[in-house]
Chain A
Amino acid sequence: MRAPGRARKLLKDVPILPGVILLALILTAIFADVIAPYDPTVPVAGAKVFQPPFWMNGGSLIAPFGTDFQGRDVLSRLIYGARVSLLVGITGTLVAGGIGLTLGILAGYLGGWVDHAVMRLTDAWLALPFLMFAIFLAALLGAGVSNIIIVFGLVYWTRYARVIRGEVLTLREREFVRLAQVAGVSTPKIVMRHIVPNVMNTWMVLASLTVGVVIVTEASLSFLGVGVPPPTPAWGSMLADARSTLMVGYWWLTVLPGLCISAVVLAANLFGDWLRVRLDPQRRDL
């Protein structure tokens, strides 16, 4: 669809470190079955419970990053946990983004009472404290990955709606939209052909920034016990399970999942930042 050469220009100056981290995350999640040395839900044969990582006293390469309170391999749990984080992160963002995009476009393009209604809804929704609301919904819907995704969709759509509405308000006045109206193009077609493609830049930037937020929230929910149910490994629940043991010195059970969360969120944020800068002046170049 794009003229050749634009793809190459787009990929220029991609930030290396965030890109590599995110790529690693995606590959790990997809190939978890192949990469992970053990089944994450089953104790490792030949290793003790609470065995430390291999470079410490008492550790061995059987379980390179140690084992948890049930003797399960931490490395495998981290790898499979990536799957959950990615799944929830991306799908949750897509659901939130989808709801927000739709409402934002409706409000921005149709204006009038639709706009008022959506904006008041957004205002009210924003008044709810995110985490509490997420917990409430999670408790209501029950445990399970798909429910968690719905929760995120319902919690995070507001930021999309606001921003997209603003963009649409400007776009609506652009001459090519007016000319489409003059030509008698139906409203749904105008939205799909003229409005949506021109807000996608903004949407993508928001999405990349939301992924980080969602992953952290998932971790928080799991930590609080209303996230992904055991025995599915999730970085947040790994933190939760291990919080009591941190004091005793079993640091690898909290620090390692914590590092993973931090790395992914940081990478997503940096990537989103880069995307925002990259996509804006490019529009001006046209």
Chain B
Amino acid sequence: MSGATPLLELRDVKKYFPAGGARMPWVAPRWVKAVDGVNLSIHAGETVGLVGESGCGKTTTTRLILRLERPTQGQVLFEGRDVFALKGRDLQRYRQSVQAVFQDPYSSLNPRMRIGDIIGEPLEAQGGLSRQTIKAKVGDALSLVGLRPANATRFPHEFSGGQRQRIAIARAIATSARLIVLDEPVSALDVSIRAQIMTLLEDLQRQLGVSFLFIGHDLATVIHISQRIAVMYLGNIVEEASADVLSATPMHPYTRALFAAALPPDPFEAPITAMVEGGVPTALAPPSGCHFHPRCPYAMARCSTEAPELLPVDGRAIACHLYSECLSVPSS
């Protein structure tokens, strides 16, 4: 990517949650290491995909970016400035610039508010806009997502799941946000509607130049819409590459397991190979060294004692001892 300052940057971000209730003062605290040293950049106008299974920390990462949680360590930088040091007007500007769309279209909209008020809410929070201006912007946002502006007087229950998600997207673009965090935006929608929303998002990016952080668990969906992808496992990014490079040659054993498990709708392809056994361990007591080593088919002795760093290899970044030692891709 270009050397320009990234729009959003996470520098060695960690978020630990205290685990367990009351404890004796002499007992060492236990931590759930939800995010354990994450480095990520998003540039203007690009879509970065974040893919991983349950417990990998992608939701916590979004909460950190959206300022719903404070990092235990590390920095979140927006246009080079620490997001958690912002106050007053600067903070307000951040809020307008970074918006979100969540997974459940049925709980993203307040059932007692009209659509126009829902979409206008971030505009109103920004302050200083007349009611006419807000109304006009709401109308524009609705048109951009393919709904008629007259819908502003209706209530959420009058719309289907796909339409509600469009309304949620309209709310996210109403303030001319520069970055929208999308947390599983199509997972709860019917299959035939998903393509509509994906196409809408791509169109919006082309028209508005907005960046997306697209979080999902379905590899094919995430790869389709993203230019770059980061794969997370138990609080760390294990591999990061452009979407094309990643789908052509996944290198990290976990990434390869994800690819093997992603079933293409093509009965002529190879049968299912479950490359890994077992489930994701708890973030409360992650395995030592490389978190993935107990499930890794290529684990070496070193993997259980030393956590690999995310190192640049061959146009991508990868955290795996296999690659820090020898650069050849092991045959499966």
Contacts and interface: CB of A to CB of B under 8 A. Distances in A.
A binds B: yes
Interface residues of A, number: 21
Nearest to B183: A175
Interface residues of B, number: 34
Given A182-B100, A184-B91, A184-B95, A198 B66 contact: no
Contact of B102 (A3, A179, A183, A285): A179
Given A3-B155, A184-B122, A178 B110 contact: no
Given A175-B104, A178-B102, A179-B171, A184 B125 contact: yes
Interface in B144-169: 154-158, 168
A61 interface: no
Interface in A246-286: 283, 285-286
B126 A193 contact: no
Contact of A176 (B67, B68, B107): B107
A174 B107 contact: yes
A183 B122 contact: yes
Contacts of A244: none
Given A180-B121, A198-B110, A3 B158 contact: yes
Contacts of B107: 174-176
Contact of A182 (B66, B124, B154): B66
Given A182-B100, A184-B92, A286-B156, A176 B122 contact: no
Interface in B24-70: 66-68
A159 interface: no
A183 B125 contact: yes
Contacts, number: 65
Contacts of A285: 157
Contacts of A184: 91-92, 95-96, 122, 125-126
A194 interface: yes
B92 A178 contact: no
B102 A193 contact: no
A182 B95 contact: yes
A189 B124 CA distance: 11
A186 interface: yes
Which residue, A3, A184, A186, A286, has most C-beta atoms of chain B within 10 A? Answer: A184
B310 interface: no
A183 B113 contact: no
B23 interface: no
Contacts of B121: 180, 183, 185, 193
Interface of A: 3, 174-176, 178-186, 189, 193-194, 197-198, 283, 285-286
16 contacts: A175-B108, A176-B108, A176-B118, A178-B100, A178-B102, A179-B171, A182-B67, A182-B98, A183-B99, A184-B122, A184-B125, A185-B121, A185-B125, A193-B113, A193-B121, A198-B112
Going nearest first, the 10 A-B pairs with the smallest beta carbon separation are A184-B95, A183-B122, A286-B157, A197-B112, A175-B102, A175-B108, A185-B125, A176-B110, A184-B125, A175-B107
